Structure 1
């Protein structure tokens, strides 16, 4: 019997598998397709990402250094308000390569990572779980003390174990232009209802365009308008759901959720790579597969770390929808050099940010 069966090998699942295996647990990871495919997530991340990958991986994954953002209340040619630092704030990275690097690190730590395994059922019982999967050689059944749902916004584990859904789902669209662009500013357009659109230069890898909208909005039409505004035609694109707002419970009798399955994301950008991996570390540290009561320790610990950032993130997102005169006034007031961390809205109130404001 395995200690954990992890369903999904994105950043959160791979990070949990690696951390749990390093603690001596027997970990099996089942990924539906090939690790990293299909791409459905932006590759724009904070510099903290390098704390989670093995030494030497940065050279292969790094694409471009970003030190600022231009915020627009109109199209590509509209007046922009710039926010920046002297050095890099974030990086554009190889997003598919990140998943594969993290999966390899989990395997090297001792986890059994298997791709092309589609989980079809999870039977959660008093003494353990049975995970049924369809693999290359037919149907398989795996016994474990606990199951970890790291299988994205439409989590099979969440549904099978009767856990509640996130508060909200957004629809995201990404497209890629292969023309190299090494600019060190991203463009953000506050023109999408209740969210935004973006343009991210990725060095020799090209440019990423994207946006996210609430259900009921026509994301395809809005994305075509964004591309037309920038004068690009994109053949390579993808889409996916973005969960926002964690449910009140992400654990069951013998189950737990991490990453997008638990909506451990930033409400103001939809990104969840760092939040999901931080939560995965909490899970690996707190949960004893032989003691279901420790699932409550995981619930408390990850929420204690992320609660404030997620609450403040909701306030930041609310600013996307205030009347345009208020948006303009706010952007003018805060534009210039900044001292904030892109994953931590609490740094809006940090000493570094205060010094940046006073130094203008």
Structure 2
């Protein structure tokens, strides 16, 4: 019997697998396909990403450095409001490569990683869990003391155990052009209903275009994306789509199961990104959850919420600004544009001494 079965080998799952293995636990990680595929997430991340990766990851994965963002209330060609720093704000990385590197680090730490294992059932008992997976060879069932659901926004673990759904799910789409663009700025367009569209330069790896919108919006997210790229007059390939969970439920644990990452909606409400939040929560889980003591799952609930809940709450307030009337958006963007002291993963940094000084100085 394993200590943990981890369902999903994305950043959150691999982070937990690695850290739990390093603590001496027997970990089995199941990935439904090949690690990193299909791509369904942007590769625009804060520079904090390197705190979670093995040595040498930056040199292998980095595609571009970003110093700021241009916000547009309209489409391409509309007036922009620039927010920037004098040092690197964020990095653009090889997103598939990140998943593979993190999964390899988990294996190196002792985790047993099995690809092409699609979980079909999770049964929870007083003293164990049973996880059944479909494989190319047939069906396998594994026993463990606990199961970690790190299987994304449409989590099978969450549904099998009747854990609460995220507050909301958005439909995200992205694709890539072959433009050679080493630009320093990302472009953010507040044109999609209740969210935004983006353009991210990836150096000689092309440009990423993306958009998210509520499911069932009219026009649909796909139609909005087509209009967006047509306005930029570019052809894109490698089209990807996926759900973005927003708003964690009041409970992400059960008797012997817990959710991490997108499965738990541990994401930024104002961008939809969840790589850093998910890996942060995974680190908390590996530190406090004892598979012999189900009561420690409450320690996980408390630890990750204490660390992230304020950032998530402030992120919801930032997102509300996306739906303000255009004239109000323009006034707000004009007032706050310029040099910033804000961290892209931490809305609380908006109230930091550094940022407030910049606002007061008008620089």
Shorter-chain TM band = over 0.9
- C-alpha separation between the residues in 1 aligned to 2:297 and 2:5? 15
- Within a 5 Å distance, the mapping from 1:266-281 to structure 2 comes to 266-281=268-283
- C-alpha separation between the residues in 2 aligned to 1:215 and 1:49? 30
Cα deviation 1:84-110 (Å, max 9, x = unaligned): 001110000000000000000000000
- Deviation of residue 307 (structure 1)? 0.7
- Deviation of residue 358 (structure 1)? 2.7
Listed as ranges, the gaps of 5+ residues in structure 1 are: none
* Counterpart in the other structure of 1:219: 221
In structure 2, the residue corresponding to 1:292 is in which secondary structure? coil
- Within a 5 Å distance, the mapping from 1:39-188 to structure 2 comes to 39-188=39-188
In structure 2, the residue corresponding to 1:87 is in which secondary structure? coil
* Counterpart in the other structure of 2:304: 302
- Deviation of residue 156 (structure 1)? 0.5
Match of 1:233 among 227, 232, 235: 235
In structure 2, the residue corresponding to 1:343 is in which secondary structure? coil
* Counterpart in the other structure of 2:267: 265
Q: 2:361 aligned with 1:356, yes or no?
A: no
Give the alignment's Cα RMSD to 1 decimal: 0.7
- Deviation of residue 23 (structure 1)? 0.3
* Counterpart in the other structure of 1:332: 334
Q: Which moved more, 1:3-12 or 1:127-136?
A: 127-136
- C-alpha separation between the residues in 1 aligned to 2:97 and 2:251? 32
- C-alpha separation between the residues in 1 aligned to 2:86 and 2:357? 14
Cα deviation 1:265-324 (Å, max 9, x = unaligned): 000000000000000011111100000000000001100100100000000000011111
- C-alpha separation between the residues in 2 aligned to 1:253 and 1:186? 43
In structure 1, the residue corresponding to 2:240 is in which secondary structure? strand
* Counterpart in the other structure of 2:6: 6
- C-alpha separation between the residues in 2 aligned to 1:193 and 1:130? 42
- C-alpha separation between the residues in 1 aligned to 2:56 and 2:170? 35
- C-alpha separation between the residues in 2 aligned to 1:106 and 1:249? 27
Q: How many residues align?
A: 360
- C-alpha separation between the residues in 2 aligned to 1:307 and 1:53? 24
- Deviation of residue 254 (structure 1)? 0.5
Cα deviation 1:48-68 (Å, max 9, x = unaligned): 000011001111100000000
Listed as ranges, the gaps of 5+ residues in structure 2 are: none
Cα deviation 1:224-255 (Å, max 9, x = unaligned): 01101100111321000000000111000110
In structure 2, the residue corresponding to 1:299 is in which secondary structure? helix
TM-score, length-scaled by structure 1: 0.99
In structure 2, the residue corresponding to 1:82 is in which secondary structure? strand
Q: 2:309 aligned with 1:312, yes or no?
A: no
| Structure 1 segments of 4+ aligned residues over 2 angstroms from their partners | none
Q: Which moved more, 1:128-137 or 1:284-293?
A: 128-137
- Deviation of residue 137 (structure 1)? 2.3
- Deviation of residue 215 (structure 1)? 1.6
Q: 2:253 aligned with 1:242, yes or no?
A: no
- C-alpha separation between the residues in 1 aligned to 2:178 and 2:7? 33
In structure 1, the residue corresponding to 2:295 is in which secondary structure? helix
Match of 1:291 among 266, 290, 293: 293
- Deviation of residue 136 (structure 1)? 2.9
- C-alpha separation between the residues in 2 aligned to 1:220 and 1:160? 30
In structure 1, the residue corresponding to 2:314 is in which secondary structure? helix
